[in-house]
Amino acid sequence: MSASSSPEINGSSAVPRLDVDPFAMNFFADPYPTHELLREAGPVVYLDKWNVYGVARYAEVHAVLNDPATFCSSRGVGLSDFKKETPWRPPSLILEADPPAHTRTRSVLSKVLSPTVMKQVRDRFAAAAEERVDALLEKRSFDAITDLAEAYPLSIFPDALGLKPEGREHLIPYASLVFNAFGPPNQLRQDAIARSAPHQAYVTEQCQRDNLAPGGFGACIHARVDDGEITAAEAPLLVRSLLSAGLDTTVNGIGAAVYCLARFPDQWQRLRDDLTLARNAFEEAVRFESPVQTFFRTTTREVELSGARIGEGEKVLMFLAAANRDPRRWDKPDSYDITRRSSGHVGFGSGIHMCVGQLVARLEGEVMLTALAKRIAGIEITGEPKRRFNNTLRGLDSLPVTITPA
Amino acid sequence: MSAITFIHPDGRSDHIETSDGESAMQAATRHGIDGILAECGGNAMCATCHVYVDEAWLARLPAVADDEDALLDGTATERLPNSRLSCQIQLTPALDGLVLRLPERQV
């Protein structure tokens, strides 16, 4: 790895050029040294490997996220520029959209996943978490990814959406595809798209109104067609957003929290001593591990960002995970501290595109960690954790553990 | 610069200096006031920076916007006529002396 500086242009400060590949396997295996290199090289860097600008410090990541008029989403939030390339699937009406179009669709999903709705589903989600812990206590030794981080969201979220029982095995592969597709045309992305047809067919079919159970999040979205808020053609694509972003993300979020609590027994003990810390223990895991590592934006005009001049139509890669451990913003950034004031982290993004399902994620995380801490004295990692590689998501494929009942 | 006061449910109060341009939520988190969670970081998406505005000040605040109104329906403690989200209260010199009461809980 090396960093070199380009000559100063038009009075703007030079942008350091780095030859790192933040979508390579060796990067995914241990991204932290490269995150530090990116942060310390300058407020804005240029990555020659993919011809993109990058921001890895908290202040610049936050600034880019909060200026959607300059750093737009409608040209794709992956490397692919929708103005120059045909998107691999019809663009999302919310993630890959700008105001004013975004404002209308966003408002529909915000209402479907509002704090009021969370109050209604809370007891059901909490009961399912208790049942999951019952099953885990019987096993004692299990894979905390498959049997916990995946099993729990799978036991509630597809039902909450109102999905049919058949075909749910496509959900995680579809989400994995979506998040790989934000990356560059590397092996991960190409393989994912090559295998995408059956998953896409399932999702397209499942998003239709007739295939969604009454009362679920999916049916609630379609009901907005009757109010005239969205069209009948838009509703299935908005349901698709929940299928794309509502499951694999929480799997990785819960996986991250369990991995943290198993690695840091002092934090696990603090949680056991005070169960009201469960929600913040999850939030801090989202900061610490950042299940969603990166997103891109595209500049709509020439702009100066922290002294760096960026032309129009440039892709800017935001390193959310690096911002979440920027020592300029966080005290002891590399410590997992469940009592930290984690408000302001960008693990869910920030600004108008901040995760619309963040309340679902927090609810799942809170009730699952509460249920675990109530009845389990200790979690011991009993085998080498295996990483799952994805262009955007960070998480484990396997985490063998043994638990001790309380 | 102005100062505002947060009154906790147990009657204890915190009087804090604020900077122009920040929200009441930002001032609270900057000063480490417990009772303001602000999980979404001020993006009007979570309803965990709920406050009850002192009656004397209520009319001096800008009106509740639609998104704030919808979120207030989902607050953890009861929504009252003087309920607001503190992330939507932009502090100005005119709000010097503002008094905000904290609810029992935010989630």
**CA–CA separation, A204 and A223 (whole Å):** 18
User: Is A148:A261 a contact under the CB 8 Å cutoff?
Assistant: no
Nearest to B74 among A119, A283, A350 (CB): A119
A398: its two tokens: 């396997």
User: Is B47:B70 a contact under the CB 8 Å cutoff?
Assistant: no
Tens-level pLDDT at each residue, chain A (406 residues): 444 444 444 446 789 999 999 999 999 999 999 999 999 999 999 999 999 999 999 999 999 999 999 999 999 999 999 999 999 999 999 999 999 999 999 999 999 999 999 999 999 999 999 999 999 999 999 999 999 999 999 999 999 999 999 999 999 999 999 999 999 999 999 999 999 999 999 999 999 999 999 999 999 999 999 999 999 999 999 999 999 999 999 999 999 999 999 999 999 999 999 999 999 999 999 999 999 999 999 999 999 999 999 999 999 999 999 999 999 999 999 999 999 999 999 999 999 999 999 999 999 999 999 999 999 999 999 999 999 999 999 999 999 999 999 9
Q: From edge to edge, which strands make up the β-sheet containing A141-143?
A: A141-143, A400-405, A376-381
Nearest to A114 among B38, B39, B70 (CB): B70
Closest CA to A5 of A19, A20, A18, A16: A16
Quick: pLDDT tens for A64-75: 999 999 999 999
Q: Identify the pLDDT of residue A8.
A: 46
Name the residue ranges covered by the structural domains of chain B: 2-101
Contacts of A350 in chain B (CB under 8 A): 41, 43
**CA–CA separation, A354 and A77 (whole Å):** 13
Compute the nearest-CA separation of B49 from chain A (Å): 11
Second CATH level (architecture) for the domain B2-101: Roll (3.10)
Contacts of B29 in chain A (CB under 8 A): 341, 343-344
Token pair 């607001």: residue: B84
**CA–CA separation, A150 and A364 (whole Å):** 12
Show the domains of chain A with their CATH numbers. 3-405 (1.10.630.10)
HSE value, Cβ hemisphere, 13 Å, CA-based, for B45: 27
Q: Provide the ipTM.
A: 0.90
Residue of A nearest to B48 (CA): A115
A387: its two tokens: 């990483």
Find all residues with CB under 8 Å of A144, minimum gap 6, and list them. A255, A258, A259, A262, A379, A399, A400, A401
